[in-house]
Structure 1
Amino acid sequence: MMGNAFIHFDNVSKAFGVMTVVDNLELAIQQGEFVSMLGPSGSGKTTLLMMLAGFEAPSSGSISVKGKRVDALPPYKRNMGVVFQNYALFPHMTVAENVAFPLKMRGVSRSETAERVGKALDMVQLGQFHERRPSQLSGGQQQRVALARALVFEPEVVLMDEPLGALDKKLREQMQMDIRDIHHRLGLTIVFVTHDQAEALTMSDRIAIFNHGKIEQIGKPSEIYDRPTTQFVAEFIGETNLLSGRVTACRNGLLDVAVEGGQQIKVASTAKFEPGEHVKVSVRPERIELAPAGGSANELSVRVSDVVYRGDHLQVIAAAASGPLVVKSTRKASAPRIGDEAVASFSPEQCWIVA
C-alpha cells in the first residue's frame, strides 16, 4: 500500500525547538480517498497538514505525491487547494474575485477564469452571489466561497483544516453533507483535520487518530468506532465503558475474564492471552441492555444511580461491582428509575480487548 500510495509520509518528524509535534510518522493515502486526521489539540494533526501544504517543512523524513517528493517545493507548486477555519477571504474583493484569485496567480485567461469561477460557485450553490463582498455573507456562505476558491483551479488534493469549526450545528451538518457530495462527484483526494468525532465518522473513508505526534490507529469509521485497538482510541471516539479484569481461560476465540468485583464475562478475541494476564475490556453504552437475567452470556448485576434525559435516548448510570457503567437506553423501553436493581447484559461480540 505504501509503494503505490498517492500521498506518502515517510518517517516524517517535526520539532519546534525541543518539542516534537510529529514523531517519525508513516502514512499512505490513496487517490480519491477522504482521510480525516482526528485528535485532541496539540496531537500533531494540523502540523502534518501544514507540512503537506508546504507552509511547514519536515525536520526529517519525506513527503511525496504520485511518487515524487514535494517537501522542497513551495506551496504554489504543489497543486493543492487549502480551506482554513477562518476562511481567509480578501475583504476588499467580491465573491467572484476571491474565487478567481488562484487562477489569476496562475495566469489563466479572463474568459476561462469567468467560466471556471461560474462553475465553482454553482457547485457550492452560490451562483447568484458573484458581486457580493465577504462582509455581506453569512459564515456558512463565506465557507462555501473558501471551498469554491480551493476547487476552482482543479487541484489534485484538497486540504481542510477545521473548515466547519466556526459554524453552528445545523449549518455544520449541512456543509458536511455538501463536502461529502462534492468529494463523491469529483473524486477528489481530501485530507481533513478535525477534532469533532461525529464529523470524522460522517465524512471519511478512513480516520487516523492522532496522539502525541503519532497515529494511534487508522481505519474505516466502523473499525475505529466498533473495534478501537487502544484505550485512548476507545475513550476518544464516542463513549465507552472500560472494565478491568484478568483472563481466566482462553479457548475457541473466546476469553473468560474475571472483572473487578469478581463477576465473569466472555469476550470474543482472536488474540492469545495467558490465564492471569491483566486486560481492559471496552463496551459501548448502546451495546448494553438493562434486561431480565438469563438472556445473555454476559450479565452484570447493577443498581441504577442516575437517569439523564437526552432526547432520543436515556443515559443511565448504573453501579456495578466492577465500577460505574453508562448505558444508552431507548425511550421505548420502560424507563429505569434511580434505585432499581437490574442486569446489564451484552454479548461477547459486543465487547473487545483494548491495549
Structure 2
Amino acid sequence: MDNSFIRFDDVSKSFGALKVVEELNLDIGKGEFVSLLGPSGSGKTTILMMLAGFENPTSGAIWSDRKRIDKLPPHKRNMGVVFQNYALFPHMTVSENIAFPLKMRGTSRADTSERVKRALDMVQLGALAERRPSQLSGGQQQRVALARALIFEPEVVLMDEPLGALDKQLREQMQLDIRDLHKRLGLTVVFVTHDQTEALTMSDRIAVFNHGKIEQIGSPSEIYDHPSTRFVAEFIGETNLVAGSVHSIDGHEAVIRLENNEVIKVVAKDRLRSGSKVVFSIRPERIGLGAGPGNTLETRISDVVYYGDHLRLLLSGGGQSFVVKTDRNRLPPSVGDSLTVSFLPSDCWAVDA
C-alpha cells in the first residue's frame, strides 16, 4: 500500500449515464494539506463526499491508514467535515453545536465540557459559548463549524468550500487561521475549492480537476510556474497564452516561431515535436520592461490601468496581445508608445495547442 495515508484506487462515480469522476488514483500523505481545485462540475465535491462516506463509489476502492473504508458508514471513518453552509443547528448554542459529535459518541459530560472549552479556545470563541448561530457573524459561524469538526480529534478534516460565503478580507484571514491549525495540530486536510488563490495560499499540494479527472497535481509553485496543460495554465492565476509553432528543440528548450515570424525560446514539454502547433504560457509579472537577457519583443502599448499596488499594461507585439504587471512607481507609459519587453526562457512553458 506504500506510505500514503489516504488512497483512491481507480475510483469512478456515475449518476446514471453521467460519469462525474473517472478512474481517480490519488495518494495523500499523513499531515498533508491537499486542495482539490477545479471549476463547477469537475467532480471535486463528489470526491470529498465519497471520502466522507456520504456517496458511494460506482467502482474502485478508498483507503485510509491502510484500511479500506468505502464500505464503512461516515461515523466510523474518523473524519471531520466542514461544509460551505456550516450546517449548524440553529436551536443550539455554540457550545452545544461543538459538543454534538461527542454526544453522538457517548462521551462523558465531564470530558465533553473540557474538550469543548479547549475547542472554543482553539478558534478564539470562548466568550461566545452561549450564543446561538443567528447571533454570530459569518466568520464566527465558520469557526464554530471548524471547532465541531475538530472536537473529536479526527485523523482527517474534509472541507467543502468552507470560506465561499465570507467577504474577501475575512476569507483571507480564515485561510491563514486554517493553515495555522493544520500546522499546529498536524492535521491531514482535504480541501475543496474553486478559488485558485485560496489553493495556492493554503496547500502543500494541489490537484487540478477537469471533467472528473486530474489534469495536474503538484506543489503550488509547480502548478503555477510549470502548468502541464493549457487548461491548467488558464485556470491557475492569470497568464498570457501565446500561439506559435515549434521551429526546433534542443534538450528541454524549444524555439517557437510566432505568427509574425519572430522566434523566442521556451521550456519544452517532452511530447512537443518540431513543426507542431503550440501555445506557451508566460505570467504577467514575469515580463520585464526594457531589453534584458533571454527573449526580447518589440511591442506597442494599447492600454494602461492603475491597480493600486501595480500598473497593468496591455501590449501588442509579435502578432499577439500581452498583459504585463509592473511596479506602480515607474513613470507611467502612455498609450501608443513603443515598448521593448523581455522574459527568460525558463519563465515560459510550452504546451500542445
1:86 is matched with 85
What displacement does 1:354 show? 2.0
What displacement does 1:270 show? 6.7
What displacement does 1:300 show? 1.5
Separation in 2 of the partners of 1:30 and 1:224?
A: 18
2:309 is matched with 312
Count of aligned pairs:
352
Separation in 1 of the partners of 2:129 and 2:341?
A: 58
1:97 is matched with 96
2:189 is matched with 190
Separation in 2 of the partners of 1:231 and 1:111?
A: 56
1:28 is matched with 27
Label 1:104 to 1:344 Cα distance change in 2 as closer, same or farther (>3 A): same
Q: In 2, are the aligned partners of 1:250 and 1:272 still within 8 Å (CA)?
A: no
Gapped regions of structure 1 (runs ≥ 5): none
After TM superposition, the score normalised by the length of structure 2 is: 0.97
Gapped regions of structure 2 (runs ≥ 5): none
Separation in 1 of the partners of 2:272 and 2:57?
A: 40
2:332 is matched with 335
Q: Which amino acid aligns with 1:24?
A: E
Separation in 2 of the partners of 1:97 and 1:234?
A: 45
Q: Which amino acid aligns with 1:275?
A: S
Separation in 2 of the partners of 1:215 and 1:314?
A: 35
1:133 is matched with 132
Tell me the SS of whatever aligns to 1:275: coil
Q: Which amino acid aligns with 2:69?
A: V
**Aligned residue runs from structure 1 range 1-355, under 5 A:** 3-269=2-268, 271=270, 273-291=272-290, 293=291, 295-355=292-352
What displacement does 1:271 show? 3.2
Moved runs in structure 1, 4+ residues, more than 4 A?
A: none
Q: In 1, are the aligned partners of 2:253 and 2:266 still within 8 Å (CA)?
A: yes
Separation in 2 of the partners of 1:239 and 1:10?
A: 33
Separation in 1 of the partners of 2:12 and 2:271?
A: 34
Q: In 1, are the aligned partners of 2:269 and 2:351 still within 8 Å (CA)?
A: no
Tell me the SS of whatever aligns to 2:157: strand
Separation in 2 of the partners of 1:41 and 1:252?
A: 38
Q: In 2, are the aligned partners of 1:240 and 1:285 still within 8 Å (CA)?
A: yes
Separation in 2 of the partners of 1:272 and 1:65?
A: 35
CA offsets 1:105-158 (integer angstroms, 9 cap, x no match): 000000000000000110000011111111111110011000000000000100
Separation in 1 of the partners of 2:274 and 2:60?
A: 42
After TM superposition, the score normalised by the length of structure 1 is: 0.97
What displacement does 1:279 show? 2.1
Label 1:115 to 1:217 Cα distance change in 2 as closer, same or farther (>3 A): same
Tell me the SS of whatever aligns to 2:191: strand
CA offsets 1:205-241 (integer angstroms, 9 cap, x no match): 0000000000100000010001111000000001111
Bigger Cα displacement from structure 2, 328-337 vs 191-200: 328-337
Separation in 2 of the partners of 1:298 and 1:137?
A: 54
What displacement does 1:253 show? 3.6
